[in-house]
Amino acid sequence: MRVYVSENASLRELAEVIEVAQAQAGDPNLVSVEVFDGSLVVKISPVGHPLDTIAFEKLKGVERVEGQAVYSLASGAQARSVVQVPFAGASFGTEQFVVMAGPCAVEKEEDLFHVAREAKRLGARILRGGAFKPRTSPYSFQGLGLEGLELLRRVREEVGIGIVTEAMEPGTVEEVSQVADIVQVGSRNMQNYPLLKAVGRQSKPVLLKRGMSATLEEWLGAAEYILAEGNPNVILCERGIRTFSRHSRHTLDIGVIPAVRERSHLPIVVDPSHATGLSKRVPSMALAALAAGADGLLVEVHPNPNEALSDSFQSLNLEEFGELMEALGKVAGALGRVL
């Protein structure tokens, strides 16, 4: 946003414009004063919030205001958004810590029903499971596709658990949306803008995974594509970023949780399974996510991790998941949260 200062403004009036700009931006580094075509312009960087342009127009020293805050929907100081999944009794953005659990990919019917029932019994409100799987190699297992979606539809109905599953291209968003309670956009597709627009045009909440090397600005920009199409229900999901570090598959950027809180009203959940790539490290990261203030968890659980066709090393078995839920429950209580 650019605020043009009147030519005959006083320095005191300019100072006032700058102070309002700094207050609205939240961070003084986002405000700069530049000379543009001979005019003094107070510029607020787009890594921002919904800005109150009227507040500027009221000031004496202001000639005109140009542009708008880039992320007027995803960002801002307004009350935190609550994303509801009534079928599952889930409310993201409240005192509830919503646990979403299940296998990486939908595979055997029997296993899926088993894990869905157990996950629900242990306190998970949403079942995760991919029907469409983006894979680095074209020769790897790519998911069961529509057949997988049908299995998810049935497990949802019979077990009574919410479903989060991924849409990989605009052409299949509708099919996914008919089955899922939450439509997932994967890390690799965080900047697949046609896909973002397509999920923005359907009515189910969207879980937007952070790209492997996405900045907070790019992530909120991606959310904005969805919001701008009219879907207000976006849940951000941190799943580890790519760094030099080698001790785990990705580096869980736990610090992005308070950063998202400061910049955006959207809820944020954490996927400790993809972040670490190792099931034995999942519990400590899940507890850390809760302690850091996340709104929920997306965690891989498989009845028999050794048999999973993808990402077997990072799946908890049901016993481990049960222990995790118990530990989460205790810490949630200490923090005034509930599962």
The interface with a second copy within residues 37-56 (CB under 8 A) comprises: 38, 40, 46
Among 257, 308, 316, 339, binds a second copy (CB under 8 A): 257
Query: Contact with a second copy (CB under 8 A): which of 4, 71, 92, 97?
Result: 71
By CB under 8 A, name the one of 23, 158, 330, 338 that touches a second copy: 330
* Contact stretch for a second copy (CB under 8 A) within 52-60, 75-83, 154-162, 282-290: 282-290
Contacts (CB under 8 A) with a second copy, residues 159-178: 168-171
Residues 294/151/89/128 CA torsion (nearest 10 deg) = -10
By CB under 8 A, name the one of 55, 82, 146, 291 that touches a second copy: 291
Q: Alpha-carbon distance 166 to 146, whole Å? A: 12
Least distance to a second copy, CB of residue 229, Å: 9
From the CB of 181, what's the least distance to a second copy, in Å? 24
Residues 198-217 that bind a second copy (CB under 8 A): 212-213, 215-217
Residue with tokens 């088993």: 114
Question: What is the nearest approach in angstroms of a second copy to the Cβ of residue 183?
Answer: 16
Span near a second copy by CB under 8 A; candidates 105-113, 134-142, 156-164, 299-307:
134-142
- Site for a second copy contains 331 (CB under 8 A): yes
From 295, 274, 258, 42, select the one nearest 182 (Cα to Cα).
295
Ramachandran bin of 98, using left for φ above 0, alpha for ψ from -120 to 50, beta for the remaining angles: beta
Member of 37, 79, 139, 157 binding a second copy (CB under 8 A): 139
Secondary structure E strands in 67-222? 83-85, 90-92, 98-102, 126-128, 162-166, 182-185, 206-209
Q: Is 76 exposed, middle or buried, given 0-12, 13-18 or 19+ CB atoms closer than 10 A? A: buried
Question: Quick one: which of 285, 299, 318, 324 contacts a second copy (CB under 8 A)?
Answer: 285
Token pair 């629900």 in the structure block, residue:
120
Q: Pick out residues in 217-246 that bind a second copy (CB under 8 A).
A: 217-218, 221, 224-225, 228, 240-246
- Cβ-based nearer residue to a second copy, 83 or 257: 257
User: What residues contact 306, with CB distance under 8 A and at least 6 apart?
Assistant: 312
Contacts of 210 (CB under 8 A, 6+ apart): 187, 190, 219, 236, 237, 238, 239, 241, 256
CA atoms within 13 A on the CB side of 305: 19
